[in-house]
Amino acid sequence: MDEVTLVNIWNAKRKSIAQSQLVSVIMIATVVALVATGQFANTTDEIRLLALTAVATTGILSLISQLAIIREASMVVKDLAKAKSNTGKIIAASGGFLQLTQVVMVVFALALFAAIAVAIY
């Protein structure tokens, strides 16, 4: 593939990461709103567990999608290692950031899930 095609794929992958977070953001915002308005205060454990399961399922599916996109973007970074343009060189140099992003995403997801679980219960 030529460099322009690889840069376009890179941009598409970045956009896909942002889009794959939308459902999780909506789910988290909904649960936070319910917690903030006291909707879980007088509900059963089954309802709390259902809400927590919905958050976990949505989050896990979103995280899997994001990690797959990052894996694919890593291949683009490797292919751009021989880039001649500054844009291609900058993208090629971002491989370490992709790995860091993977780790941070997992850590943040676990921390956020724990915080939501505490808030619901």
CB 79 within 8 A of CB 20: no
Radius of gyration (Cα) for the chain, nearest Å? Answer: 19
> Which residue segment(s) compose the domain that 62 sits in?
3-120
Question: Domain of 48: which CATH number?
Answer: 1.10.132
Task: For the beta carbon of residue 52, count every other beta carbon within 10 angstroms.
Answer: 18
* Mean pLDDT taken over the chain: 94
For 9-60, what is each residue's pLDDT tens digit? Answer: 999 998 998 898 899 999 999 999 999 999 999 999 999 999 999 999 999 9
Is the pTM above the cut of 0.85? no
**Per-residue pLDDT band at 1 (split at 50, 70, 90):** confident
Q: Total domain count for the chain?
A: 1
> Cα–Cα distances in Å, from 58 out to 28, 29, 50, 106?
9, 12, 12, 14
Q: What is the pLDDT of residue 82?
A: 87
Q: What is the mean pLDDT of residues 51-76?
A: 94
DSSP secondary structure letter of residue 85? S
